Structure 1
Amino acid sequence: MEKGIKAFQCVEWVSKRKVPHTIDIVDPDPSWPTTFTQLATGIRAALPATVIHAVHHVGSTCVPGLAAKPVIDIDLIVADPADEASYVSALEAAGYHFLFREPPWYEHRLFALYAPPVFVNLHVYGPGELDLESARHRLLCDWLRKCPADRDLYARVKRESSERAKANGEGVGEYTEYKGATIREILARAAADAAAAGQGREETVEAGRAETAEAGTGIE
């Protein structure tokens, strides 16, 4: 990622959401992992195996017992995110709506799938250094599964942030901003734990100390 560039400054919109992004927080649903598995199967069927490096369930819906927006967040790691011809049309044929690209932010692309009562955010990244943002997503989720205290803290702050944003007539951007400081605190603890255990890529752990795992992406 280019130093000093914030994600929100480099968004290239392709189209707007067809359905507004909810900021309602609901109780955990045990069906969310199964829903992800079905979605991942569909993604793998839509794209050539040579394009897909990995499909990860990220965000709060992948953490058992954690309240969340009813949005399944998926990180799709492809061979080359800049080669949109290799995956965009296939994802669109599978029902995914291309929303925007952020080339300086780890070549991030965002797609949406509208499948009430659950919606999907599909984040596309690349391998190697382009996988660092997704790696932070996974680091955060792994820690929330491991640490009940931070899981409860995050659930409380999310509910408070949601209510504050709704009371002010605001949307997902403000909701994400309100909970950002808490995410940074939790991610710092997750990074410290991973470093102490000698787990994970060094650059991911170091970046985790300084950056929120959800910056610019709207990850739930």
Structure 2
Amino acid sequence: MTTGKPIVIADYDPAWPAKFVAERDLIVRTCGHGAFVSIEHVGSTSVPGLAAKPIIDMMPGLRSLDDAPPLIRLLESIGYEYVQAFERDTPSGPGMPFRRYFRKDERGERAYHLHAVEVGSSFWVEHLLFRDYLRAHPEAAAEYARIKYELAAAFNTDLTPSSDINVGYTDRKTEFVEMIKARARAELR
């Protein structure tokens, strides 16, 4: 039995890009201008017009994962929680040892996800490829929104109260995401 908060998909909010910029600027002021190669706005909130969970996904690009440890304390000082457990395998899936994951709440609700990875890594490349394809193809973004609304209705609770993912919801989206990434790679050829 699942417990926890319902999955909320919100219509696109034109304030999302400004929220990203404000938070990115706070991170840069806190961690220093040279801490990251780049900080990208990824995920559904980065695609104009796309419905999304109202959580801003950010992808800070590191030169090396070895650069991450001193940044943890700095990010925690501005409200981020470092979730090291997601680097290891769990019953719900494989871990991501190539990513340093942080989350931040505002007013008791999840507001930001931070996925710190090495620039040029497959995680980095694939997330930008997916985002950029959806930005360039509004019909694909509309189809993705339809799928997310349907899945949110079918899988309307998180796995646990502290979880960031609902395995059923996430797994069902994966087929569409992989199809879009394949189309994007084909366009690049």
Aligned pair count?
A: 172
- 1:60 deviates by 0.4
- Paired residue for 1:120, among 99, 112, 118? 112
- Paired residue for 1:134, among 124, 131, 136? 124
The SS at the match of 1:87 is: helix
Q: Name 1:202's counterpart in structure 2.
A: none
TM-score normalised by the chain length of structure 1 = 0.72
Q: Name 1:179's counterpart in structure 2.
A: 173
TM-score normalised by the chain length of structure 2 = 0.83
| Matched AA of 2:78 | A
Question: Quick one: structure 1 residues 149 and 175, their matched pair in 2 at CA, closer, same or farther if it must change by over 3 Å?
Answer: same
Q: Name 1:91's counterpart in structure 2.
A: 75
Q: Are the aligned partners of 1:107 and 1:125 in contact in 2 as well (CA < 8 Å)? A: yes
- Residue deviations 1:98-125, cap 9 Å, x none? 1125287462011001024661000010
- 1:50 deviates by 3.1
Moved over 6 A (4+): none
| Matched AA of 2:130 | L
The SS at the match of 2:32 is: coil
Question: Quick one: structure 1 residues 44 and 55, their matched pair in 2 at CA, closer, same or farther if it must change by over 3 Å?
Answer: same
- Paired residue for 2:44, among 60, 74, 77? 60
Q: Are the aligned partners of 1:114 and 1:120 in contact in 2 as well (CA < 8 Å)? A: yes
CA RMSD of aligned residues (A): 2.0
- 1:192 deviates by 0.9
Structure-to-structure mapping, 1:6-45, within 5 angstroms = 23-45=7-29
Question: Quick one: structure 1 residues 26 and 96, their matched pair in 2 at CA, closer, same or farther if it must change by over 3 Å?
Answer: same
- In the alignment, the residues of structure 1 paired with residue 58 and residue 102 of structure 2 have an alpha-carbon distance, to the nearest angstrom, of 10
| Matched AA of 2:53 | K
Question: Quick one: structure 1 residues 52 and 83, their matched pair in 2 at CA, closer, same or farther if it must change by over 3 Å?
Answer: closer
- 1:187 deviates by 1.4
Question: Quick one: structure 1 residues 139 and 106, their matched pair in 2 at CA, closer, same or farther if it must change by over 3 Å?
Answer: farther
Name whichever of 185-194 and 109-118 sits farther off: 109-118
Q: Name 1:188's counterpart in structure 2.
A: 182
- In the alignment, the residues of structure 2 paired with residue 29 and residue 72 of structure 1 have an alpha-carbon distance, to the nearest angstrom, of 11
Please, which runs of 5 or more residues in structure 1 have no aligned partner? 1-19, 196-220
- Residue deviations 1:192-219, cap 9 Å, x none? 1122xxxxxxxxxxxxxxxxxxxxxxxx
Q: Are the aligned partners of 2:147 and 2:173 in contact in 1 as well (CA < 8 Å)? A: yes
